[in-house]
Chains A and B, each alone.
Chain A
Amino acid sequence: MTRTWDPIRELDALRRQVEQIFDEHNTWSKPFTRFSFLPGLSARSYPLINLAEDKNNIYIEALAPGLNADTLEVTVLDDVLRLSGEKPSISEDVKPEAYHRNERSAGRFVRSIALPTPVNSDGVKAHYHDGLLNLTLPKAEEAKPKQIEVKVG
Protein backbone atom coordinates (compact mmCIF):
# COMPACT_ATOMS: atom_id res chain seq x y z
CA MET A 1 0.00 0.00 0.00
CA THR A 2 1.39 3.37 -0.87
CA ARG A 3 0.68 6.30 1.35
CA THR A 4 0.19 9.64 -0.21
CA TRP A 5 1.94 12.59 1.34
CA ASP A 6 -0.47 14.27 3.64
CA PRO A 7 0.71 17.63 4.95
CA ILE A 8 -1.84 17.58 7.75
CA ARG A 9 -0.54 14.28 9.02
CA GLU A 10 3.03 15.57 8.88
CA LEU A 11 2.03 18.62 10.87
CA ASP A 12 0.20 16.49 13.36
CA ALA A 13 3.27 14.33 13.85
CA LEU A 14 5.36 17.45 14.38
CA ARG A 15 2.91 18.77 16.93
CA ARG A 16 3.07 15.53 18.86
CA GLN A 17 6.85 15.56 18.85
CA VAL A 18 6.92 19.09 20.18
CA GLU A 19 4.41 18.24 22.85
CA GLN A 20 6.51 15.31 23.88
CA ILE A 21 9.53 17.54 24.33
CA PHE A 22 7.53 19.89 26.52
CA ASP A 23 6.16 17.01 28.54
CA GLU A 24 9.62 15.71 29.22
CA HIS A 25 10.84 19.01 30.54
CA ASN A 26 7.78 20.01 32.43
CA THR A 27 8.49 18.23 35.65
CA TRP A 28 5.32 19.51 37.25
CA SER A 29 2.74 17.96 34.99
CA LYS A 30 4.64 14.74 34.39
CA PRO A 31 7.12 14.52 37.17
CA PHE A 32 8.38 10.98 37.05
CA THR A 33 9.05 10.05 33.51
CA ARG A 34 12.64 11.12 33.43
CA PHE A 35 14.21 11.92 36.77
CA SER A 36 12.00 9.31 38.12
CA PHE A 37 12.80 9.13 41.79
CA LEU A 38 14.28 12.31 43.06
CA PRO A 39 13.51 12.52 46.74
CA GLY A 40 11.36 15.62 46.88
CA LEU A 41 9.13 14.57 44.06
CA SER A 42 8.68 11.02 45.10
CA ALA A 43 7.63 11.88 48.61
CA ARG A 44 3.97 11.80 47.69
CA SER A 45 3.72 8.33 46.24
CA TYR A 46 6.48 5.92 46.91
CA PRO A 47 7.35 3.50 45.46
CA LEU A 48 6.67 4.28 41.83
CA ILE A 49 5.12 1.40 39.95
CA ASN A 50 4.65 0.08 36.46
CA LEU A 51 1.66 -2.16 35.91
CA ALA A 52 1.06 -4.71 33.20
CA GLU A 53 -1.46 -7.46 32.68
CA ASP A 54 -2.19 -10.45 30.56
CA LYS A 55 -5.12 -12.84 30.47
CA ASN A 56 -4.41 -14.49 33.81
CA ASN A 57 -2.20 -12.17 35.83
CA ILE A 58 -1.49 -8.62 36.79
CA TYR A 59 2.19 -7.74 37.01
CA ILE A 60 3.52 -4.90 39.08
CA GLU A 61 7.06 -3.66 39.27
CA ALA A 62 7.98 -1.13 41.92
CA LEU A 63 11.08 1.02 41.94
CA ALA A 64 12.44 0.59 45.43
CA PRO A 65 16.21 0.52 45.86
CA GLY A 66 17.84 -0.34 49.16
CA LEU A 67 14.85 -1.63 51.07
CA ASN A 68 15.16 -3.67 54.17
CA ALA A 69 13.54 -6.85 52.85
CA ASP A 70 12.36 -7.90 56.32
CA THR A 71 10.16 -4.85 56.68
CA LEU A 72 8.54 -5.29 53.31
CA GLU A 73 4.85 -6.07 53.52
CA VAL A 74 2.52 -6.80 50.65
CA THR A 75 -1.17 -7.26 51.34
CA VAL A 76 -4.07 -7.67 48.96
CA LEU A 77 -7.74 -7.23 49.68
CA ASP A 78 -10.01 -7.76 46.66
CA ASP A 79 -8.66 -5.23 44.24
CA VAL A 80 -6.54 -3.09 46.51
CA LEU A 81 -2.85 -3.79 46.87
CA ARG A 82 -0.98 -2.29 49.77
CA LEU A 83 2.79 -2.04 49.83
CA SER A 84 4.64 -0.96 52.92
CA GLY A 85 8.17 -1.16 54.21
CA GLU A 86 11.17 0.80 55.18
CA LYS A 87 14.14 2.15 53.33
CA PRO A 88 16.79 2.41 56.00
CA SER A 89 19.32 5.17 55.98
CA ILE A 90 22.58 3.62 54.89
CA SER A 91 24.61 5.51 57.43
CA GLU A 92 22.92 6.35 60.68
CA ASP A 93 26.00 7.66 62.37
CA VAL A 94 27.08 10.24 59.83
CA LYS A 95 27.10 13.75 61.21
CA PRO A 96 25.09 16.26 59.23
CA GLU A 97 28.17 18.35 58.56
CA ALA A 98 29.93 15.39 57.01
CA TYR A 99 27.55 15.42 54.05
CA HIS A 100 28.56 16.90 50.74
CA ARG A 101 25.37 15.78 49.10
CA ASN A 102 22.23 14.25 50.48
CA GLU A 103 19.80 13.51 47.69
CA ARG A 104 18.60 10.05 48.60
CA SER A 105 15.57 9.69 50.77
CA ALA A 106 15.00 7.21 53.54
CA GLY A 107 12.21 6.23 55.84
CA ARG A 108 8.99 4.26 56.06
CA PHE A 109 6.49 4.21 53.26
CA VAL A 110 3.06 2.88 52.47
CA ARG A 111 1.18 2.93 49.22
CA SER A 112 -2.20 1.54 48.26
CA ILE A 113 -2.84 0.74 44.64
CA ALA A 114 -6.23 0.09 43.11
CA LEU A 115 -5.90 -2.84 40.75
CA PRO A 116 -7.87 -3.04 37.52
CA THR A 117 -9.52 -6.33 38.59
CA PRO A 118 -9.94 -8.31 41.81
CA VAL A 119 -7.12 -10.78 42.39
CA ASN A 120 -6.75 -14.10 44.08
CA SER A 121 -4.76 -13.14 47.14
CA ASP A 122 -3.53 -16.68 47.82
CA GLY A 123 -1.55 -16.89 44.63
CA VAL A 124 0.33 -13.60 44.85
CA LYS A 125 4.04 -13.91 44.29
CA ALA A 126 6.56 -11.26 45.25
CA HIS A 127 10.22 -11.06 44.35
CA TYR A 128 12.72 -8.39 45.35
CA HIS A 129 15.88 -8.17 43.30
CA ASP A 130 18.28 -5.40 42.26
CA GLY A 131 16.11 -2.77 43.90
CA LEU A 132 13.00 -3.76 41.97
CA LEU A 133 10.02 -5.36 43.63
CA ASN A 134 8.14 -7.58 41.22
CA LEU A 135 4.68 -8.88 41.99
CA THR A 136 2.60 -11.40 40.10
CA LEU A 137 -1.05 -11.24 41.06
CA PRO A 138 -3.35 -13.89 39.59
CA LYS A 139 -6.70 -12.48 38.60
CA ALA A 140 -9.76 -13.78 40.40
CA GLU A 141 -11.67 -16.38 38.40
CA GLU A 142 -14.63 -14.14 37.78
CA ALA A 143 -12.41 -11.41 36.41
CA LYS A 144 -10.76 -13.53 33.75
CA PRO A 145 -11.91 -12.83 30.25
CA LYS A 146 -14.19 -15.45 28.77
CA GLN A 147 -13.71 -16.71 25.32
CA ILE A 148 -16.92 -16.35 23.36
CA GLU A 149 -17.39 -18.62 20.48
CA VAL A 150 -18.48 -17.00 17.27
CA LYS A 151 -20.80 -19.15 15.24
CA VAL A 152 -20.65 -18.81 11.56
CA GLY A 153 -23.77 -19.85 9.84
Chain B
Amino acid sequence: MKESTVPMKQEERQVAETREETRTLIPPVDIFETEAGLAVVADMPGVAKEQVEVHVENDLLTLKGSSKTHMETEPLHREYELRNYFRQFQLSDSVDQEKIKAEMRNGVLIIRLPKKEAKKPKQIAVEVA
Protein backbone atom coordinates (compact mmCIF):
# COMPACT_ATOMS: atom_id res chain seq x y z
CA MET B 1 0.00 0.00 0.00
CA LYS B 2 1.77 3.06 -1.13
CA GLU B 3 1.10 6.59 -0.22
CA SER B 4 -0.31 8.46 -3.09
CA THR B 5 1.76 11.04 -4.83
CA VAL B 6 -1.41 12.39 -6.30
CA PRO B 7 -1.69 16.04 -5.45
CA MET B 8 -4.63 17.26 -3.49
CA LYS B 9 -7.87 16.78 -5.25
CA GLN B 10 -8.86 19.33 -7.81
CA GLU B 11 -12.08 20.32 -6.13
CA GLU B 12 -10.14 21.80 -3.29
CA ARG B 13 -8.05 23.93 -5.53
CA GLN B 14 -11.03 25.38 -7.26
CA VAL B 15 -12.58 26.71 -4.12
CA ALA B 16 -11.32 30.17 -3.44
CA GLU B 17 -9.37 29.58 -0.28
CA THR B 18 -6.55 31.35 1.36
CA ARG B 19 -3.26 29.58 1.36
CA GLU B 20 -3.60 29.11 5.08
CA GLU B 21 -6.53 26.77 4.83
CA THR B 22 -5.02 24.41 2.32
CA ARG B 23 -2.21 23.62 4.70
CA THR B 24 -3.18 20.43 6.44
CA LEU B 25 -1.90 18.11 9.09
CA ILE B 26 -0.80 14.65 8.07
CA PRO B 27 -2.21 12.24 10.61
CA PRO B 28 0.14 9.45 11.71
CA VAL B 29 -1.24 6.07 10.67
CA ASP B 30 -0.85 2.38 11.33
CA ILE B 31 -1.68 0.10 8.45
CA PHE B 32 -1.70 -3.62 9.01
CA GLU B 33 -3.11 -6.77 7.55
CA THR B 34 -5.72 -8.82 9.30
CA GLU B 35 -7.45 -12.05 8.38
CA ALA B 36 -10.25 -10.14 6.74
CA GLY B 37 -8.18 -7.54 4.96
CA LEU B 38 -6.45 -4.31 5.77
CA ALA B 39 -6.90 -2.04 8.74
CA VAL B 40 -5.95 1.62 8.73
CA VAL B 41 -5.74 3.44 12.06
CA ALA B 42 -5.14 7.19 12.11
CA ASP B 43 -4.67 9.57 15.02
CA MET B 44 -6.85 12.59 14.41
CA PRO B 45 -7.38 14.37 17.72
CA GLY B 46 -9.96 17.14 17.76
CA VAL B 47 -12.08 15.59 15.03
CA ALA B 48 -15.65 14.77 15.96
CA LYS B 49 -17.40 11.77 14.46
CA GLU B 50 -19.43 13.94 12.13
CA GLN B 51 -16.40 15.84 10.92
CA VAL B 52 -14.52 12.95 9.40
CA GLU B 53 -14.72 11.96 5.79
CA VAL B 54 -13.45 8.71 4.34
CA HIS B 55 -13.92 7.86 0.73
CA VAL B 56 -12.50 5.69 -1.99
CA GLU B 57 -12.41 6.76 -5.58
CA ASN B 58 -10.43 4.99 -8.28
CA ASP B 59 -8.61 2.92 -5.64
CA LEU B 60 -7.54 6.08 -3.87
CA LEU B 61 -8.39 6.14 -0.19
CA THR B 62 -8.84 9.65 1.15
CA LEU B 63 -8.96 10.56 4.82
CA LYS B 64 -10.16 14.00 5.73
CA GLY B 65 -11.17 15.55 8.98
CA SER B 66 -11.76 19.00 10.26
CA SER B 67 -10.62 19.50 13.79
CA LYS B 68 -11.78 21.98 16.31
CA THR B 69 -10.25 23.08 19.54
CA HIS B 70 -12.46 22.94 22.61
CA MET B 71 -10.81 25.98 24.13
CA GLU B 72 -12.66 29.22 24.01
CA THR B 73 -9.75 31.47 24.84
CA GLU B 74 -6.72 32.07 22.69
CA PRO B 75 -3.80 30.14 24.19
CA LEU B 76 -0.90 31.92 25.84
CA HIS B 77 1.36 28.95 25.50
CA ARG B 78 0.97 26.91 22.37
CA GLU B 79 2.60 23.60 21.53
CA TYR B 80 0.34 22.51 18.74
CA GLU B 81 -2.04 23.92 16.23
CA LEU B 82 -5.14 22.13 15.12
CA ARG B 83 -5.77 22.16 11.43
CA ASN B 84 -7.64 20.04 9.03
CA TYR B 85 -6.27 16.58 8.38
CA PHE B 86 -5.67 15.16 4.97
CA ARG B 87 -3.96 12.01 3.71
CA GLN B 88 -4.34 9.72 0.75
CA PHE B 89 -3.30 6.16 0.02
CA GLN B 90 -3.32 4.14 -3.13
CA LEU B 91 -5.20 0.89 -2.56
CA SER B 92 -4.54 -2.32 -4.28
CA ASP B 93 -7.55 -3.45 -6.25
CA SER B 94 -8.06 -6.48 -4.05
CA VAL B 95 -10.01 -4.40 -1.55
CA ASP B 96 -13.76 -4.81 -1.58
CA GLN B 97 -14.70 -1.18 -1.78
CA GLU B 98 -18.35 -1.81 -1.00
CA LYS B 99 -17.61 -3.21 2.43
CA ILE B 100 -15.29 -0.59 3.85
CA LYS B 101 -16.17 0.36 7.41
CA ALA B 102 -14.92 3.31 9.41
CA GLU B 103 -15.35 4.31 13.01
CA MET B 104 -14.12 7.18 15.12
CA ARG B 105 -13.14 6.54 18.71
CA ASN B 106 -11.65 9.23 20.96
CA GLY B 107 -9.89 10.96 18.13
CA VAL B 108 -8.69 7.74 16.51
CA LEU B 109 -10.08 6.79 13.12
CA ILE B 110 -10.26 3.07 12.42
CA ILE B 111 -10.97 1.91 8.88
CA ARG B 112 -11.42 -1.70 7.88
CA LEU B 113 -10.90 -2.60 4.27
CA PRO B 114 -11.98 -6.17 3.58
CA LYS B 115 -10.32 -8.19 0.87
CA LYS B 116 -12.27 -9.21 -2.15
CA GLU B 117 -13.20 -12.84 -2.31
CA ALA B 118 -10.59 -14.56 -4.36
CA LYS B 119 -11.59 -15.24 -7.87
CA LYS B 120 -11.59 -18.90 -8.64
CA PRO B 121 -10.35 -20.10 -11.98
CA LYS B 122 -13.22 -21.23 -14.08
CA GLN B 123 -13.03 -24.74 -15.33
CA ILE B 124 -13.79 -25.03 -18.96
CA ALA B 125 -14.81 -28.34 -20.21
CA VAL B 126 -13.16 -29.33 -23.41
CA GLU B 127 -15.34 -31.23 -25.69
CA VAL B 128 -13.68 -33.74 -27.82
CA ALA B 129 -15.46 -34.29 -31.03
Q: Is the CB of A100 within 8 A of B33?
A: yes
Given A65-B44, A132-B70: A101 touches B31 (CB 8 Å cut-off): yes
Neighbouring B residues of A69 by C-beta, 8 Å: 106
Q: Is the CB of A65 within 8 A of B79?
A: no
Neighbouring A residues of B29 by C-beta, 8 Å: 101, 103-104
B21 to chain A, nearest CB (A): 14
Task: Enumerate B61-99 residues with CB–CB distance to A below 8 Å.
Answer: 69-81
A123 at interface (Cβ–Cβ under 8 A)?
Answer: no
Q: Which of A32, A37, A49, A59 contacts B43 (CB 8 A)?
A: A37
Cα-based distance from A59 to B69 in the complex (angstroms): 12
Neighbouring A residues of B79 by C-beta, 8 Å: 32, 36, 45, 48-50, 63
Cα-based distance from A70 to B91 in the complex (angstroms): 36
Task: Enumerate A45-69 residues with CB–CB distance to B below 8 Å.
Answer: 45, 48-54, 59, 61, 63-67, 69
7 A-B pairs with the lowest CB-CB distances in the bound complex, closest first: A131-B107, A131-B45, A65-B107, A36-B80, A103-B28, A66-B108, A52-B73
B interface, CB within 8 angstroms of A: 1, 23, 25-26, 28-34, 38-39, 41-48, 69-81, 105-108, 110
